[in-house]
Structure 1
Amino acid sequence: MADTAKDFRTTFDAEKQNIEESLTRLDQVPKADMQVAIDNLVQRIHILEKTVTEKISVLPPYDARVCMEAIKSLSERLNQLRTTLVPKPKFSFKSRKASSSTTTVTAASSSPASLPKATETPRSSSLVDQSLFMKFEDRTGEHLFIGSLPMSDDSSKDGVERGTTTVAKDVALTNLTDCTVNLVHNIPLGAIHIKNLKRCVLVIPPVSGSILLHDCEGCTLIGACHQSRMHTSKNMDIYLHVTSEPIIEDCNDMRFAPYGQILPVDELKRLFEAANLNPTKNYYDRVKDFNWLRQQQSPNWRLMEANEIQPAIAQQVLAKDRQL
């Protein structure tokens, strides 16, 4: 394992240095090519982050933390350069009226830390397929159902097709307070990006990507995924099925329990298969805390006691919608 970790750091450090050099030279890129260069760096940083997540089980906690902090630093530096080098547009088509705060399909990368603003990324030059992003944002006291979102013209109940390939759609949940969110639908879902939620209940079906969470408080999350990363959050109940060790950072009072039987057996089995997710492999109880490098149990998370688990909470959310 020590040799594996050493080999990984050698590869990681080399790519990190290459990205840093590209960032240093970014101001020399012609304006006409600037957005493409920025999008390329976004993708490279995301890939670097993904490699860390995939190797998290074999990396010493210190190395994992150093790598994640390096990725965060690269993302922040890129965001600063983008602000300087790419002028903001003078207007936006986004309505400010509360009545028109319905979700829209916007651009997204696979990492919220390196997410370009939609108004700063022309559709013609983005390296990210912008049709894969669905969004709920700026809502209070509402029930939100993914089936209520407008779909693109080429979408179907089984997902968005590109030739013969069905492509999963990414979802962003941002700035929600006292909401219930139902993402269970026939739409195949990829990564779920969650940021700044307060006292919300989220029901997420098995997804083919990651659940990425930042700046949340007092929420209940029920979800199944390949990878789970949670940052700067507190007082959360998390019913999780995850096939790699989940990560928390700068979190406290995080309580974990296994994902429940939220749907009939056959339907849930179909969703696990569609997401290529192993239903018998669940590491919900093997949380890695990047703020706790000691061998003892981290004080920032724990498993729920049997009397704390609420098995009916998902059904209560799903019952709000008839199209299930």
Structure 2
Amino acid sequence: MADRSEKFRMRLEQRKAEMERKKEERITQNESRGAIELFNKEFATEKQEIERLVEKSLEISKSDLLAHFDALALSMQKLKKHLSDSASFLPEFGIKTAQTQLDALDLVIREKRDVLMPKKKFAFKSRKKEAEKPVENEKTEKEEIQEEAACSVILLGSDDARILKFHNRDGETLTLEADDVSGKEVDLSQLNGCVVKIFGTPMAIRMHHISNSKVFSGPVATSVFLDNCTACSFVLACQQLRIHTTTDSRFFIHVSSRAIIEDCSQVGFAPYNWDYSGIERHFQECGLPSLNSEGNHWDCVDDFNWLSSSERSPNWYIVSQDKKTIKL
């Protein structure tokens, strides 16, 4: 009799436990469903706002276009982070759908920027020959091109006098002084084995196809964007840092927002460590937190190819203490 009573009591407890488990599952499912619905609503609203701003790009004056597209990039960064933070409760199909929409919107923004802010090709002016001058005093076309190429700064276009460019250099030390870069955008591309030193406060920096090089920059007023870089070291201070398709490189950074990497591998991060006369004043001028403040998020990195919120992406790492210095 006692055994039957004990078995009956155990069955009741098991049934009660099973009912509690199912109840918790229903609550969890409802909470998850509510979280998914909230995400979808917020994501759609934020995406529509970005699309609205993209459509307004045609109404923006040329002088304000750079700031406009920087603001769009920041909005995209926040939206992508929202997706990354929500990956733990979103279904796989929902994540892929949102990522596809983000990729499409990224493409629309890039195309719009290329149309409204095209990169003008630099062309050497043909030299007019003057018959009255002795031939021996005239420079050959080859000499003139070599002399032009030796210039450290190339200005792009008339309205683009605010864009400074180093292009197609190998094994050179390239320098931009503070007076040169103030309020201007710097464009670096096709550099190999170079050392680049940018003093002062450029408005923005773009880098493409850099290899085996070192880039040092003073504080950047807005953003730094780079892609297709290999085996490089970058010392950068900026509001926003975006790194695409880059491998085997180190970043010594001072940033006021989380750095973003995409399609990258073996990229290391450490605190900004460049110093030169007047650098503190330059930080104040561009509105970045001072070097001694706690406003540096050098070790906060979002990898858009790694949506797990519980584990850090294997595509980036913290530079070890013995390698946190970089020599010019």
TM-score (norm 2): 0.65
Q: For residues 224-281 of structure 1, what are the alpha-carbon distances to aligned partners after superposition, in whole Å with 9 as ceiling and x for unaligned?
A: 11110000110001101101000000000001100115236xx332121011101221
* 1:100-119 equivalences in 2 (<5 Å): 100-101=148-149, 102=151, 103-106=153-156
SS at match of 1:244: coil
Pairing 1:304–2:328 present: no
The answer to whether the 8 Å contact 2:216/2:274 transfers is no
1:159 to partner: Cα distance: 6.9
Change (3 A) 1:143 1:171: same
**One-letter code aligned to 2:280:** K
Match of 2:163 in 1: 133
Does 2:108 correspond to 1:74?
yes
Partner of 1:197: 210
> Given that residues 65 and 290 in structure 1 are in contact (C-alpha distance below 8 angstroms), is that contact kept between their aligned partners in structure 2?
no
Listed as ranges, the gaps of 5+ residues in structure 1 are: 24-34, 108-122, 124-128, 148-156, 161-166, 318-324
Instruction: Determine if contact 1:57/1:245 at 8 Å carries over to the other structure.
Output: no
Alignment of 1:177 onto 2:192:
yes
Higher Cα Rg: structure 1 or 2? Answer: 2
CA contact (8 A) 1:142 1:179 kept: yes
Contact in 1 for aligned 2:185/2:204 (Cα 8 Å):
yes
Q: Which moved more, 1:6-15 or 1:248-257?
A: 6-15
User: What amino acid sits opposite 2:307 in the alignment?
Assistant: L
For 1:155-170, list aligned pairs within 5 A: 168-170=183-185
Moved more, 58-67 or 221-230: 58-67
Per-residue CA distance 1:172-231 (angstroms, 9 max, x = gap): 11111100001014xx31111111101110111112111111110000000111110000
Distance in 1, matches of 2:122 and 2:215, equals: 30
**Paired AA for residue 165 in structure 2:** K
| 1:168 Cα deviation from its structure 2 partner | 1.4
Q: What residue is the counterpart of 1:285 in the other structure?
A: 299
What is residue 45 of structure 2 aligned with on the other side? 10
Name the amino acid aligned to 2:195.
Answer: T
What is the rounded CA distance, in whole Å, between the counterparts of 1:217 and 1:251 in structure 2? Answer: 10
User: In percent, how many aligned pairs have the same letter?
Assistant: 26
- Tell me what 2:74 maps to: 50
In the alignment, the residues of structure 1 paired with residue 280 and residue 185 of structure 2 have an alpha-carbon distance, to the nearest angstrom, of 21
Equivalent pair of 1:230/1:248 in contact (CA under 8 Å): yes
Q: 2:266 aligns with which of 241, 250, 253?
A: 253
Which residue is 2:11 aligned to?
none
Q: Distance in 1 between matches of 2:70 and 2:198?
A: 24
- Evaluate the alpha carbon distance shift between residue 67 and residue 206 of structure 1 in structure 2; reply closer, same or farther with a 3 A threshold: farther
Gap change, CA 1:248 and 1:158, over 3 Å in 2: same
Query: Gaps spanning 5+ residues in structure 2: where?
Result: 1-34, 88-94, 126-141
